[in-house]
Amino acid sequence: MTVAPAVPAPASEPAPATSGLCVRGLRVVYPATRGAAPLTAVDAVDLDVPRGQILALLGASGSGKSSLLRAVAGLEDIAAGTITWDGDDVVPVPVHRRGFGLMFQDGQLFPFRDVAGNIAYGLAGLPRPERARRVEEVLDVVGLPGYGDRAVTTLSGGQAQRVVLARALAPRPRLLLLDEPLSALDRALREQLATDLRTILKTQGTTALYVTHDQDEAMTVADRVGVMASGRLLRLDTPERLWANPGSARVARFLGFAPLLDADAAAHLGWADLLAGRPGELLALAPGALAVAQGDAGNADDGGTPGGGPATSGPAGYELSARARVAAVRMRGGRRVVEVEIAGEPAMAVLADGDAEPVRAGQEITVRLDRRRAAVVRA
């Protein structure tokens, strides 16, 4: 088992896609207002969403995700770049002729129409019987069979967003654009709906661009995730590859890797070989990379030599050990998590199952590292 070196992480697409959505060199600039300079919200972004794929754009508030999505929809003018579908330029095509569906955080159903009336809204061109059949069909797809006659004001938040999804899917858009579609819902509902959304989009073969600031949601829903900051696409890859190789310190920090250790800190812990002296690189520890060594809990200063074979053993996969000081002990998801200080940096270490005696703040303990959850990233 080795830690992969920080390979140049793909932040953009290599060759233009031949099918589906292809965005190249996209820039969105908001004009100067009241003395403020013009603002570049999207800067030189390349991305593809091949047919049938779901791509999520993930980033902090203000990183430019919505501006990018709105530019693809045709709701924002672009300052530079190209947007094509199956190779055809869509930039001159008006919003309603692009064949793209939209779903927003607050779907804004028409309160004076029932569920069926809301869904049928986008199907005006179809004959009445066909429209009714399609409404039934998409209600089935979103898990609300027979809800057509319900007044939308009687729906729960989760049901309402399912109706919004049904309405967006009904005209069979060639691309579905979703902007924070679940963020108005509470956490449990969001998790359930994220899983359902993926199943629905995949079984329908829907091509989708999905904007969210929630990394769990992005990784649950999407085939590939693009991480944005300051208008730029920093990294674009499958969830698995993003976790294995965040590429840069910025992406690693955004994903929750901590700490990021430089060569001196890694050497101090006896983990110098993991960085192999590569200049300008850091060792980034993913959540769950550290575990409290078994037998060490409640038993201070009794084992562990930096980098070597300690007196205690860790759970399978956790091979390398180091000494750490306990800062605090917390409960998370029904398990005890230990906040430690390692090489002067804060980090979290999980307690192995069966460690009955909790450690205490201030204690010196041995932590073990699962090197599969450590990545080398550019500083």
Ligand X SMILES: Nc1ncnc2c1ncn2[C@@H]1O[C@H](COP(=O)(O)OP(=O)(O)OP(=O)(O)O)[C@@H](O)[C@H]1O
Q: Which parts of this chain interact with ligand X (CB under 6 A)?
A: 30, 39, 41, 59, 61-67, 213
Closest to ligand X by CB, 64 vs 304, is 64
Q: What angle do helix axes 187-204 and 128-141 make, rounded to 10 degrees?
A: 130
Minimum CB–partner distance for residue 324 and ligand X (Å)? 35
Closest to ligand X by CB, 69 vs 342, is 69
Minimum CB–partner distance for residue 33 and ligand X (Å)? 7
Q: How far is CA 252 from each of CA 96, 246, 311, rounded to the nearest angstrom?
A: 39, 5, 32
Give the Cα separation of 11 and 282 in Å (integer): 19
- Cβ(281)–Cβ(271) below 8 Å: no
Give the Cα separation of 26 and 228 in Å (integer): 13
Cβ-based neighbours of 135, under 8 Å, separated by 6 or more = 116, 119, 120, 123, 148, 166, 170
Closest to ligand X by CB, 44 vs 272, is 44
Give the Cα separation of 10 and 33 in Å (integer): 35
Minimum CB–partner distance for residue 363 and ligand X (Å)? 41
Minimum CB–partner distance for residue 30 and ligand X (Å)? 3
Give the Cα separation of 207 and 190 in Å (integer): 21
Q: How far is CA 87 from each of CA 45, 56, 83, rounded to the nearest angstrom?
A: 17, 21, 9
Minimum CB–partner distance for residue 45 and ligand X (Å)? 11
- Cβ(215)–Cβ(58) below 8 Å: yes
Closest to ligand X by CB, 113 vs 213, is 213
Closest to ligand X by CB, 39 vs 79, is 39
Closest to ligand X by CB, 105 vs 204, is 105
Closest to ligand X by CB, 141 vs 228, is 228
Check the CA dihedral 111-113-115-121 and report its sign: negative
Closest to ligand X by CB, 70 vs 134, is 70
Give the Cα separation of 326 and 366 in Å (integer): 10
Minimum CB–partner distance for residue 62 and ligand X (Å)? 4
- Nearest Cα neighbor of 349 from 340, 360, 362 is 340
Minimum CB–partner distance for residue 76 and ligand X (Å)? 8
Count CB-CB contacts under 10 A for residue 117: 16
Minimum CB–partner distance for residue 31 and ligand X (Å)? 8
Give the Cα separation of 110 and 119 in Å (integer): 10
